Structure 1
Amino acid sequence: MVFATRFAPSPTGHLHRGHAFSALTAFEAARAVRGRFILRIEDIDATRSRPEYEAAILEDLTWLGLNWDQPVRRQSEHLSDYHAAIDDLRERGLVYRCFRTRKELDIGRAPHEPQAPFEGGPLPCHEEAERLTRDEAFAWRLSLAAAKEALGGFETLTFIEEGAGPDGEAGPIAARPETAGDIVLARKDVGVAYHLAVVLDDALQDVTHVIRGEDLFEAAHIQRLLQALLGLPTPTYRHHRLLMGADGKRYAKRDKAQTLRELRAAGVTVAALRAEIGF
């Protein structure tokens, strides 16, 4: 199979240096072996995605000198693929309805504490029926217990890491999907969730190597489980270091990191930017 990797930004803001580093890392890896470089727009979050941000992404990547396979896959145009996967998991008893709100899940948790992996399970049939009758919102959660039973355990779940995780993890990795808990795979407000969409897209686009930041290393564990449950191939993973600013923090949209558009406006050239971030 031809080497294929991808850059998959969400159009919820403008790209910054960190995005440029990740996109160039994937692009140069594909170019080095005359492989495929894929651009995917992950716009399943309809509440935050904006067409003007997508247009800006295309403009920024073109400015960086990147080119990619056509057509560009936009997740919002393929919701039926994700819904079919949810239906398959539901029919096999691998997901359940969860009516708990984010506020309920945060009860007893200090604001600075991360949310612990959720361990729940379906409600009793009569209570679930009552809530459905009241048209209460719910999310579809993956049942780790049902998944473990279906696969006969998680011991055979592994993936190959060619880069490094945040603690230097590399080589054959034993997947630990239990660290994620019963994750949400779909909900009413944002539709399908990231983990499900990304494993389906990678398989449908014949991605052989997932090249992305080490902050997503832990996501590989639950994604490996979804690949097994859905009969999808497992790509090779290559997580890379995160680009840090002068303050020692990684570049992030939420911290209003200087954008590529702002760099261009300030007269920064592509050559200067590439040299600054190590290319």
Structure 2
Amino acid sequence: MIETFRFAPSPNGHLHLGHALSALLNLDMARAVNGRVLLRIEDIDTVRCTPDLVSAMLEDLDWIGFDADPPHRRQSEHFADYADALRRLDAMGLIYKAFLTRTEIRHVVAQREAAGRPWPRDPDGAPIYPGDASLLSEKDVAARLAQEEPYALRLDMARALQMAGTLLDWQETGAGPAGESGRVTADASAWGDVILARKDTPTSYHLSVVVDDARQGISHVVRGHDLFHATSVHRLLQHLLDLPAPIYHHHRLITGPDGRKLSKSAGDTGLRDLRDAGWTPADIRARIGL
């Protein structure tokens, strides 16, 4: 079997040095084993991921020498795949409509913590979702549905873990934030009832990434270690949906002068700005340590 890697950027802003590291590391690792490297365009957000940004992204990748193998996969063309996965999970009784807004969640958390009861956080630091069943009656839920209020489709984590009924892990050839490697135990419970889709958005990152990796035959997932802990959720979904588990390799992040990882939303210097300033692809490789 040909080993297959992928680079999967979201074109909601211009690519920066962090993207260059991930793209070129995938390329180098694939070529080292005579494997393939695929490009996935994660454009679920069809409002922010504009055609102009997609074109700019492809231009930047071509400039740095990211020579992906065909075909490219655009998530916006495969919503039916994600809907099918949702239907399968729903048939297992693992999905529920969650109506609590961010404001309501903050209010619940503030009340509990004011009473001296710390509220659990997920690995990204966000409060664990409290669950509608403990806060909203069936009448409340029915009223919100009747008013066509927005909702998220969340995974019933406790029930999903009970149904999985086995200890899940993954093969890590890179390193997590604390240096984790080898066989790593998955702890999806740390995330609580994660979002799998919304009323107006047909899928989430967690759901689409496992479906896409399986559809594209990805054998090696190479990505930044900011996504290391999310792998626990991905392993659970792979198990529930009977999808293959790739080998994972989480790499270091490129950080700015203040120590935080680079971000498109923070306006960090893009590859095209560096190109305009006279940088070459060789300069990019040198800067990111490749």
Contact 2:38-2:71 within 8 A present in 1 as well: no
The amino acid across from 1:51 in the alignment is P
Aligned length: 275
Answer yes or no: is 1:137 the counterpart of 2:150: yes
Where does 1:86-235 land on structure 2 (aligned, <5 Å)? Answer: 86-107=86-107, 108=109, 114-120=125-131, 122=133, 124-152=137-165, 155-235=166-246
What displacement does 1:50 show?
Answer: 1.2
Distance in 2 (CA, whole Å) between partners of 1:156 and 1:272 is 45
What displacement does 1:247 show?
Answer: 3.4
TM-score, scaled relative to structure 1: 0.94
Distance in 2 (CA, whole Å) between partners of 1:121 and 1:204 is 33
* Structure 1 runs, 4 residues or longer, greater than 3 Å off: 121-127
Distance in 2 (CA, whole Å) between partners of 1:249 and 1:68 is 29
Answer yes or no: is 1:52 the counterpart of 2:52: yes
Find the counterpart in structure 1 of residue 4 from structure 2. 4
TM-score, scaled relative to structure 2: 0.90
Distance in 2 (CA, whole Å) between partners of 1:134 and 1:252 is 37
| Unmatched runs of 5 consecutive residues or more in structure 1 | none
What displacement does 1:131 show?
Answer: 2.4
C-alpha spacing 1:93/1:124, structure 2 compared with 1 (3 Å)? farther
Find the counterpart in structure 2 of residue 70 from structure 1. 70
Find the counterpart in structure 1 of residue 121 from structure 2. none
Contact 2:7-2:23 within 8 A present in 1 as well: yes
Distance in 2 (CA, whole Å) between partners of 1:26 and 1:257 is 22
What displacement does 1:270 show?
Answer: 0.9
The amino acid across from 1:160 in the alignment is Q
What displacement does 1:121 show?
Answer: 5.0
Find the counterpart in structure 2 of residue 41 from structure 1. 41
SS in 1 for 2:257: coil
| Unmatched runs of 5 consecutive residues or more in structure 2 | 114-123
The amino acid across from 1:99 in the alignment is F
1:213-251 CA deviation, whole Å, 9 max, x = no partner? 000001101111000111101111000000123333322
Q: RMSD over aligned Cα, in angstroms?
A: 1.7
Answer yes or no: is 1:278 the counterpart of 2:289: yes
Distance in 2 (CA, whole Å) between partners of 1:215 and 1:69 is 26
Find the counterpart in structure 1 of residue 85 from structure 2. 85
